Amino acid sequence: MRPCSQRSEVRIPPKTHLQHERGPPSLQEPLFLGPFRFIQWDNSRSNINSGSISKDGYMNVLHPTPDFSAYSAYSQSQYSPYYSSHYNAPYLAASNVSPSAMAATIPYQHAEHLPVVTNHSPESLPGDHHPSPSPPTPSKEQDGVRARRGSDGKLRGRKRASDPAPPLDSDIERVFVWDLDETIIIFHSLLTGTFATRFGKDSAKSVSLGLWMEEMIFNLADSRLFFNDLEECDQVHIDDVASDDNGQDLSTYNFGADGFQTAAGSAALCLGSGVHGGVDWMRKLAFRYRRVKEIYNTYKNNVGGLLGSPKREEWLQLRRELEVHTDLWLTQALKALALISSRPNCVNVLVTTTQLIPALSKVLLYGLGAAFPVENIYSATKTGKESCFERVTQRFGRRAVYVVVGDGVEEEAVSKKKNMPFWRVSCRADLEALSHALELDYL
């Protein structure tokens, strides 16, 4: 990288905000960074330690500006395809990751001979995401320091918490809103053959892997996550019916004999999100969603323990074959998710058109549980993504910066309407560019 001595004028996503609002965002010309379709920032809420805002709204950065011409992998010419409406050229004519190479990096081990790992996830694969706990916010840490000062103002026995609490929703500064299918994971395009056509893969193999994963997704949803009971009672969020829960201990509760399905079938009470049936039935519905939440939190880093043998071995084999077939797509997505999770006051949120229970099953089976707390997963099946985006912005507030990552027209249209930057994912190179931008602290 060669330093540049001239002053440059660029627009950079804000890292911090002023302590007050100055009305609605002012619209500026878009800035394109990699696959960004558009970026429009409110300059009144931005400041950079080493720069100033000029009269025309540009950010004058005084420190040396990096020159990316030395990086052939991320040259400006690389990004020209991202500005078109459709991605037509195949990413690879054939897989650039051979099964033998993959086998060397991700060895398959039988359940009885798996090594012990520190996160207690014996089925963890190299691509799985296990972030470290977020550090406390500066204000909280300062409060703790002041509390430990003696009368002479000196520190007494300063000690860091071993497991600090995550930041409050109101403390979050940046929210990355992700799509799921064909953005983080490859699933639907395997079933339709689109992935094989676009990237030059074996069509029969793609469909076979897609059907295999589909069977595992719905098997887990039906057998462990009450999907047979909840399919017609879908919710946008796991806590949407929590107000109907009386807090009863469920350790010995018999879900199979509580009459829930009989009541739902005879009275047609499953009428969709927000429509309440009888009090007793709604309480039983809330019990099921509470139990799903408990299962997710218990097994989000150990889905193999939830599957049991021999399903666990089958799942490990499927994950390995999927990574070979998709050229480590999921591994690259997990890298970006881990970079975001490692930052203080940044958060990953998932908004998917899949029903909530199958979406949770997908997240668990693809090893995404640590990247997405169950409270950060929203299903747009019934309400659409715009409604989910509204809920997310209401939850984290107007002061947070929102970045949308996806492949679909719907999330792109909503992000444009709400003046949120959109990072399009059309191929694995887009995920690599996203990770690169995160590493350079551009996002």
* HSE-CB for 439 with a 13 A CA cutoff: 8
Cβ within 8 Å of residue 153, ≥6 positions away: none
Dihedral, CA atoms, 46, 48, 53, 56, nearest 10 degrees?
-70
Q: Are 334 and 109 in contact (CB under 8 A)?
A: no
Please tell me the distance from the alpha carbon of residue 257 to that of residue 235, in angstroms, as a whole number: 23
Our separate counts of H helices and E strands in the chain read: 15, 8
Residue among 16, 12, 10, 14 at smallest CA distance from 60: 10
152 a catalytic residue = no
Catalytic residue among 42, 128, 171, 179: 179
- Which candidate, 61, 60, 20, places its Cα nearest to that of 44? 20
Annotated catalytic residue within 42, 181, 229, 244: 181
Strands 51-53 and 401-406: unpaired
- The string of DSSP codes covering 190-237 is HHHSHHHHHHT--HHHHHHHHHHHHHHHHHHHHHHS-HHHHTTS--SS
Q: Give me 124's structure tokens.
A: 């963890």
Say if residue 181 carries a ligand binding annotation.
yes
42 appears as a binding residue in the annotation = no
Block residue for tokens 């086998």: 103
Whether 156 and 150 have beta carbons less than 8 Å apart is answered as yes
- The secondary structure of residue 165, as a DSSP letter, is P
Q: Would residue 181 show up in a list of annotated catalytic residues for this protein?
A: yes
Kind of pairing between the strands at 8-10 and 59-61: antiparallel
Count of CB atoms situated within 10 Å of the CB of 305: 14
In the chain the first and final C-alpha atoms are separated, in Å, by 20
Is 407 annotated as ligand-binding?
yes
Query: Which residues belong to the active site?
Result: 179, 181
Known binding site for Mg(2+): residues? 179, 181, 407
Known binding site: residues? 179, 181, 407
